[in-house]
Structure 1
Amino acid sequence: MEKRRLGRTGFMVTPISFGALPVQRCTMEEAGEVLNAALDAGINFFDTARAYTDSEEKIGRHMSGRRSEYYLATKSMARNKAAMAHDVDLSLAAMKTDYIDLYQFHNVKAEQEWNEIMSPGGALEALKEAKAAGKIRNIGITGHNLDLLVRAVKTGEFSTVQVPFNCVEQGAAKELFPLAKSLDVGVIVMKPLGGGLIDHVDLALRFVLQHDDVVAIPGMDRVEHIEQNLAPTKDFTPLNAEETAKLTAEAEALGSNFCRRCGYCTPCVVGIEIPAMFILHLQYTRYDMKTAIPERYKGLKVKASECVECGECEARCPYNLPIRERMKKVAQDLG
């Protein structure tokens, strides 16, 4: 399989690599099947996070014996030095490895967070010390705030930047991608399939791969996802005019303000499965499933109408979605 250089890390990685967020939905046994199938297929870059519940543990259980076959990336929401140092050690233990190839700041979206990370006693100090000690090899940053990511890349402190990019969210290509290339910062594309909501998988991934300086990490939690996601890398061809039009039409139908199923909004204080509510509502409206979806909705233990409007979910959402208002709409439409 083709490899792409991940910026100044020097890592030659598969252009379609492994996003491990959905692995937390697998049982321990299922996770082993998926992770090893990905390795067997040639994928050599795996991205996870402390926030993905037991994802790191599953990687440690099933992949530690094949450590020489892949590059390992994880990330932490810690913002101060002590918390970040603790998280690095937790990641090393969970994934049963002596080193992590790339450790990233996870979802940095606010000025206050950025200032805390970069200030004396901030989390950057911990990662620099971890790098000096050989615990990690590179430092990266992830997020959805393009202005903040541009500022981060300009500091020279980061080997990689991870950002959402797909046929709906194309903003990163305007300034961030060329800037990163000029400074030899590797670009990791999250949400290349819009959190799984873009139907034309082949077209969506080819759209991303047309940008030859990026690596995409679609989420995978089933073995069949691996073959499907790797298909565009075989005899790769850019999108033609007809394919571009088809993908553009789908992007317009989705709009820019939709749930990507990242799960950062959870857990809900009253137990509402927030992403599931939005997926059901999207299916109800987009696919005109006016009978089947309300029937499925009736079987849910906790419904959208039970939202207490505390707002905790909105504070955690990286896309700043108006979740409380949307819950009202779900309750109104689905019963």
Structure 2
Amino acid sequence: MEVVKLKRTKLGNTDIEVSRLCFGSLTITPFQANLSIEEGGRLIQYAYSKGINFIDTAEIYDNYEYIKYALQGIKREDFVIATKCYAYTKEMAKQSLELALKELDTDYIDIFLLHEQESIHTIRGHYEAIEYFLKAKDMGKIRAIGISTHRVEGVYAVTQYDELDVVHPIINMAGIGIQDGSIQDMLNIIKKAYNMGKGIYGMKPLGGGHLIGEVEEAFNFVNSVPYIHSFAIGMQSKEEVDCNIALLKTGKIPNDLKEKLKKKKRRLIVADYCIACGNCVKTCKQNGIEIIDGKAIPNENCILCGYCARNCPEFCIKVI
């Protein structure tokens, strides 16, 4: 496979080199695009051929088989895999690591994160799992550890633990999904973490799909942040890969790609972990979403504006 070389950078004080773009892999799964294993695996290979050597996944995404397929055509030592789990005990951490190694058919995981950590208190509560990951790191089964977070306090917590190498926070121009502050608050704390040598790769640059209408501005906002090493963005097709590569290189989407992407039929989805708080219903001026049987459900009035997601405390509403 001929591979285009995008500029890579070391992820903080780790020795892991990553492309500026990270392949967000939730979008290829049955939860969203529902690609077959072969389709998803080939798309990952295509992204790698265009210079994207970094993929983000999680145990809960249930998509290790896609990445395993892709690895058949990729140099493992040149490809960076980040995964996440909710472990809080040694046994849970061990099970999560063994599952990832087995299902990915690999000897090591580059980055293992604790998923959706909220603050220094949740990290404390999960520290038994961190201790296990540290031992696994010493054995060469993990190269770096850290957390993902939707909160400013989560990034702050990473600055208080020398043993945490990497943080994966929400960063987008509208602050969509940040649960305890503004985008400026988030930028301030990630700058501190960056200056301490933490590896930082952002998530949700398009706000879970809600900034697609402003894609160039939203993408360029995150790409211009000087204190992140990479950022993950979901990709479901070769056109989306090409679009993101073009944005990275020029800040603009070529007209032919714009036309192709306009034809894609998008929809609003609500994750199963919706708590039926009703904030989305109150926000929607189109009466396009309602609570049915304990869950928010979009209806025929939905115009895919995405405003409802801005007031979802659980960040469970997405446009795909």
What TM-score results when the alignment is normalised by the length of structure 1?
A: 0.71
Q: Of the candidates 11, 22, 41, which is equivalent to residue 32 of structure 1? A: 41
Report matched runs for 1:50-89 at 5 Å: 50-53=59-62, 55-66=63-74, 67-89=76-98
CA positional deviation for 1:34:
1.3
2:142 is aligned to 136
Match of 1:308 among 286, 294, 297: 294
1:16 aligns with 2:21: yes
Q: Which runs of 5+ in 1 are unaligned?
A: 238-259, 295-302, 311-317, 327-335
When residues 322 and 182 of structure 1 are mapped into structure 2, their CA distance, relative to the original with a 3 A threshold, is closer
Q: Which runs of 5+ in 2 are unaligned?
A: 1-5, 176-182, 253-267, 297-308
Residue 126 (structure 1) aligned with residue 132 (structure 2) = yes
Deviation at 1:216, TM superposition (A): 1.0
Identical residues among aligned pairs (%) = 27
The secondary structure found in structure 2 opposite 1:155 is coil
Moved over 6 A (4+): none
CA contact (8 A) 1:109 1:148 kept: yes
Distance in structure 2 (CA, Å) of the matches to 1:154 and 1:135: 24
Residue type of the alignment partner of 1:225 = E
Which structure 2 residues correspond to residues 1-335 of structure 1 after superposition, within 5 A?
1-24=6-29, 25-53=34-62, 55-66=63-74, 67-109=76-118, 113-118=122-127, 122-169=128-175, 170-198=183-211, 199-214=213-228, 215-235=230-250, 265-266=271-272, 285=286, 304-308=290-294, 321=312
Aligned residue-pair number: 266
| Bigger fraction of residues in strand | 2
Distance in 2 separating the partners of 1:124 and 1:176 = 22
Q: What amino acid does structure 2 have at the position aligned with 1:6?
A: L
C-alpha displacement of 1:194: 0.6
By how many angstroms is 1:106 displaced?
Answer: 0.7
Cα root mean square deviation, aligned: 3.2
Return the structure number with greater helix share: 1
TM-score of the pair, normalised by structure 2:
0.74
Q: Deviations over 1:126-180 (max 9, x none)?
A: 1011111111111111111211320222211211111001111124544322211
Aligned counterparts of 1:102 and 1:308: Cα–Cα separation in 2: 36
Compared CA separation, residues 5 and 183, structure 1 to 2 (3 A): same
Please say which structure displays the higher CA radius of gyration: 1
Name the CA shift for 1:172/1:134 in 2 (closer, same or farther; >3 Å).
Answer: farther
